[in-house]
Amino acid sequence: MRNKVLKYNANWQIIGSDSIRKAVKKVYKGIALFMERDTGETYNFDRWLRLDPTESFITVWPFGRIRRPSSIVCSNYKGMGMAPHVNEPIFSRWNIFVRDDGKCQFCGKKLSYQKGGFTFDHLHPKSKGGDKDWYNIVIACHHCNHKKANKSLEDSGLTLIRKPYKPLAQELRNKSIKIRQDILLGEQE
């Protein structure tokens, strides 16, 4: 998979993969954007060129070394690929962020998905046997997570805005599209 790039449609659904060469061509022609899989941030070709190639790079003539892409998002294609439609939500950092609307579940502060922009809080502390699952994890700002520390919710004096729950996959897909659009609009301003 090292020479393949994951491909998403315009609705942010995985539709397959492309070779690195095809993916770079699509972004260069403006029919797709590079996407950082960890952050969801998207880049056109010119912005991608300005990123530090770090240790993982490819050489593209005449631009030289550029960061090796791992994902692209097609700008206009809304069709589905051959991947099965997932109905069971996957527990992940992104999906917890989406479920919680990108807000601290204690104070309501809007949080950034960027690295270090939020923390996971275990309602039943991990050190006391708390699980890492849909019903025990919420996102929190650094201040509230520090305030709660290793205490139970009751002992911390904090209250939850919304009780954690296991969302439906369709709910996550719909919310994810909205959040990614907000991220895109925010970067264009």
The top-scoring range by mean pLDDT among 12-21, 25-34, 83-92 is 25-34
Question: Could you tell me the CA-to-CA distances from 136 to 7, 26, 123, 146 in Å, in that order?
Answer: 32, 41, 5, 17
Distance CA 189, CA 15 (A): 29
* No. of helices (H) and no. of strands (E), the chain: 6, 9
pLDDT at residue 35, rounded to an integer: 87
Confidence (pTM): 0.56
Nearest to 138 by CA among 150, 122, 116: 122
pLDDT at residue 188, rounded to an integer: 41
pLDDT at residue 110, rounded to an integer: 93
Q: Which domains does the chain have, with CATH numbers?
A: 4-74 (no CATH), 93-188 (1.10.30)
94 contacts 101 by C-beta, under 8 angstroms:
no
Return the beta strands (E) in 9-118 as ranges.
14-19, 32-35, 42-43, 57-60, 64-67, 71-74
Kindly report, residue by residue over 88-118, the tens digit of the pLDDT: 788 888 899 999 999 999 999 999 887 788 9
